[in-house]
């Protein structure tokens, strides 16, 4: 985690350094402020878009008192404020968290509540609360922001070193996307690592890993047989379960293999 974080920090400094080299020292405050604004906008828009895309609605405390009590207990043990709980019809059994400490939101699919036992659902809720407690969503947004900044810097390098014709314009787009993709490989590595951490912390919070392991098995089967998923690629990156198969897909996946997660939970 420290190594990958240091690499991302280096990428960011290189991006700002390129801006300074091209436009002079007077550009660095604009570059830094612009970077912060980019991350803030991505965070706000991403949170709003994720909730809107699945049609999330408030989870009634009168209708689901057990879930609310479980979240209150787990939140108190983790030292965070109880997040807002929402329910959505996703077409697949899944759950995800967005936001940060003090402004978190946990979304549970109707399909998930239908297939999980009470202790299994508690394990899933603990996993999502850990993401909020560990600021994982903010961490990922910062990583994505760095990838965008470095990609933009690469585009400017190509444009300013060429003749500024149409060919240079298209070349800049291609180079920028390639550079952004390479940086995103490190961001995705962080995402997979944070899933392992969330599993381990949830295991400690509920006193054992078997309930969450059983939940993951049921969620995997439910996603494999589902035909009408309302979860798009952006939301899938936030969910507790993400499918991946094949070497390339594992490399660009936001989640580690579910079989390995289950094995770790039961070890």
User: What is the per-residue pLDDT across 53-108, written as a single tens digit (0 to 9) for each?
Assistant: 888 899 999 999 999 999 999 999 999 999 999 999 888 888 999 988 888 999 99
> 232: Cβ–Cβ under 8 A, 6 or more apart, which residues?
53
The Cα–Cα gap between 262 and 240 comes to 13
The Cα–Cα gap between 157 and 123 comes to 48
DSSP E strand boundaries for the chain = 57-58, 84-88, 95-98, 105-109
User: What is the per-residue pLDDT across 116-152, written as a single tens digit (0 to 9) for each?
Assistant: 999 999 999 999 999 999 988 888 888 888 888 888 8
> 81: Cβ–Cβ under 8 A, 6 or more apart, which residues?
75, 101, 102, 104
Inter-residue contact 81 to 60 (CB < 8 Å):
no
Global pTM value: 0.83
Catalytic site residue 128? yes
pLDDT, the chain, mean? 84
Between 85 and 239, whose confidence is greater?
A: 85
Inter-residue contact 111 to 93 (CB < 8 Å):
yes
Candidate list 111, 128, 233, 259, residue with the active-site label: 128
* Angular region, 164: left φ>0, alpha ψ -120 to 50, beta rest: left
The whole-number average pLDDT for the span 189-206 is 92
For 256, the 3-state DSSP assignment is coil
């Amino acid at each position: 985690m420290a190594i990958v974080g240091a690499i991302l920090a280096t990428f960011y400094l290189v991006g700002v350094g390129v801006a300074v080299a091209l436009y002079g020292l007077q550009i660095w405050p604009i570059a830094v402020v612009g970077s912060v604004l980019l991350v803030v906008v991505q965070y706000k828009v991403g949170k709003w878009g994720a909730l809107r895309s699945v049609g999330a609605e408030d989870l009634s405390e009168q209708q689901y008192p057990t879930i609310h009590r479980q979240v209150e207990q787990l939140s108190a043990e983790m030292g965070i404020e109880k997040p807002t709980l929402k329910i959505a019809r996703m077409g697949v059994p899944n759950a995800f968290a967005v936001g940060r400490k003090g402004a978190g939101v946990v979304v549970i699919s109707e399909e998930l509540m239908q297939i999980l036992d009470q202790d299994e659902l508690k394990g899933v809720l603990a996993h999502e609360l850990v993401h909020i407690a560990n600021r994982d969503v903010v961490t990922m947004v910062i990583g994505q922001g760095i990838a965008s900044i470095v990609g933009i810097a690469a585009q400017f390098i190509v444009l300013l070193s060429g003749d500024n014709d149409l060919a240079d314009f298209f070349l800049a787009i291609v180079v920028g996307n390639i550079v952004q993709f390479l940086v995103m490989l490190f961001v995705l590595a962080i995402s997979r690592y944070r899933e392992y951490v969330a599993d381990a912390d949830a295991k400690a919070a509920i006193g054992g890993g078997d309930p969450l392991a059983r939940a993951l098995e049921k969620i995997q089967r439910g996603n494999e047989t589902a035909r009408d998923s309302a979860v798009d690629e952006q939301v899938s990156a936030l969910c507790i379960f993400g499918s991946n198969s094949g070497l390339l897909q594992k490399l660009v996946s936001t989640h580690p293999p579910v079989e390995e997660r289950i094995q770790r939970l039961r070890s």
